[in-house]
Chains A and B, each alone.
Chain A
Amino acid sequence: MAEKLLHNYPYLIAALIFAVGCYIVLSHTNLMRKIIGVNVMETAVFLFLVAAGNVRGGKPPIIDLANPDVAYVNPLPSALILTGIVVSVSVTALSLALVVRIHRQYGTIDADEIAAIRSAEDV
């Protein structure tokens, strides 16, 4: 069991980073740190998929007709991750733009301070 887990250590690390990222988003009040947390979470998923596509000792997936019995690395997860990275970049860009607007309008990027300003407005 332990040997299997050690053998598949990238998956364990991915799960760990995922949890760390989730913790960062939920525990920090600074909006920039929340954005970093989301990026950490997404990176963990990318690591998971890229690790899954890797074949130990595998060659790049360029078919060589001369010797067809070579093990190739699975290229599909990397292609998926490329799309995933594009999505993650656009989400980050949008959230940074929103932080700029929040800073302009509230004068702070701390979630607690914003909440305090908003509750003072409501009364």
Chain B
Amino acid sequence: MFNNLPVLIVVMLLISAFLAPLFVRRFRRATQVVAGVVTWTAAGLSAWLLARVVQAGPIRFAVGGWPAPWGIEVTATPLSAFVVTVATVIVAIVMLGLPREQRDWPSNRAGWYITLLLLLTAAMAGMTFANDLFNLYVFFEVTALSSWGIVAAKTDRSAADASFKYLMLGAIGSSFVLFAIGITYVVTGYLNMSFASAFIAAAQLHPIIPWVIATFFLVGLALKAGLFPMHIWLPDAHSAAPTSASALLSGVVVKVYAVAMAKVFYGLFGGASLEAMGISEMVRLAAVLSILAGSLFALVQTDIKRLLAYSTVAQIGYVFLGFGLGGTVGVAAALYHILAHGLMKASLFLASGKVIELRGSRNIKGFAGAGRLLPLPMAIFTLAALSMVGLPLLAGFTTKWYLFNAGLEARLYWVPVVVILSSLLNAAYFLPIVWRIWFGQGEAEGAADRRVPGLIPLAVLLVAVGLVPNPLLNLLQQAAAWLIS
């Protein structure tokens, strides 16, 4: 029973996405509320699916009743159910702010924006559940198209330019992924990952073939995920977007591409042969460069949204590093960071959105004295920033601790060094802002409206996963063990 739940979640989001623009003109408030309710329902269903999958084992569902390898197969594993739950919960929380954000928008823009958000959520869920490579590609493109759309949602000139840049590099990435899928199909004769991987394991292929497939996937997915040195589109795109879109793009979307990479790599080749081909090494190298370069770029930014975007480049490095290290601890750290960073980055973007609105400028000087005007949002900003730095008892610390251990376990002694160095760099760009917020001298003009919807749930979840990480980590280690085996 309920084996079709993964498909149901995606279809429900897709249908409501295209209904939104029909009703938004007359009933804008109701449309926003319904969109929120649909996303919360999707989040609830995926949480329930996660609980079921953890208890009863993975679900395989053949779409349309056509069994694999002929039909499209959708799988709900602890990994995919967890990632979809995280994505839908964060989208649902961020959508609480829609009525306020869309106050001055014309109704057709407001409606299509809701469509794009729901479409993005549906596509991310579809991409995570897909076990068929071509199905993965289609959802991959839908995710990309809707993210290009929400980046261009603002009407100022930088938005169109940033979206175009994102689009061009994204399209190159998609072509690489499609090429990799094509080669996989030509070599193995299957599009279903389980069948293709069984073929690759059994057939004595020339070692260059799996290597080419893996490299094409890596280039394509790393481009989309904004891994250094393919991050050049990310700061523009994430800073030009409306606040809620920035929070989602930085907090959720880039991580889904990392998960897709992990799924494809472990699904097709398995950890041991990834290590033997040198692909894991390549992922780790790119991850470390991303962690260090992202933080160094963030240090010199004066625009808060660009600073946060560069920080995303660094943080996506953590996720890739975890997947690259392999082993249950490394993968669990990556999965934990997907949730932790999603919560942190979404809170940081939402809180700074309020400051930008108040000061009318994105310069970090605007944060001076903001603590007195917006005490609660700024307290949450401080909490999230300290968590990024990796203060013990906060979520960011748990990731770093686990990566630290995974590095020692894999006998890669530079990993702990990089983790510590990155914490120092994070402190170097976040602490001055925190100082400015509470001790800076700024205009003390009263803010008319201090509420930032969605910020409190994000902060509560962030504190919860930071204080009691163990039940979650046990679950994630189970998910990681399933991915690796």
Contacts and interface: CB of A to CB of B under 8 A. Distances in A.
A87 B141 contact: yes
Q: Is the interface of B mostly helix, strand, loop or mixed?
A: helix
Given A49-B182, A98-B167, A83 B134 contact: yes
Interface residues of B, number: 24
B161 A114 contact: yes
Contact of B185 (A52, A84, A105): A52
Nearest to A43: B175
A48 B167 contact: no
Contacts of B178: 42, 45, 84
Interface stretch (B119-127, B145-153, B331-339): B145-153
A37 B369 CA distance: 49
B316 interface: no
B182 A34 contact: no
Interface residues of A, number: 33
Given A18-B179, A80-B134, A94-B148, A49 B171 contact: no
A94 B149 contact: yes
B26 interface: no
Contacts of A45: 175, 178-179, 182
Contacts of B164: 31, 95, 98-99, 102
Nearest to B157: A105
B172 interface: yes
Please indicate which of the listed interface residues B134, B152, B164, B179 has the most CB atoms of chain A within 10 Å of its own CB: B164
Interface string A108-123: 0000001000100000
A67 interface: no
A34 B179 contact: no
B160 A105 contact: yes
A77 B184 CA distance: 12
Contacts of B300: none
B393 interface: no
Given A45-B175, A45-B179, A106-B157, A38 B134 contact: no
Contact of A34 (B148, B152, B168): B168
Interface of A: 18, 21-22, 25, 31, 34-35, 38, 41-42, 44-45, 48-49, 52, 76-77, 80, 83-84, 87, 90-91, 94-95, 98-99, 101-102, 105-106, 114, 118
Given A44-B175, A52-B186, 5 more contacts: A21-B175, A38-B171, A42-B178, A94-B149, A98-B148
In the A-B complex, the 9 residue pairs with the closest CB atoms: A105-B157, A52-B186, A101-B160, A41-B175, A38-B171, A87-B141, A98-B164, A49-B182, A45-B178
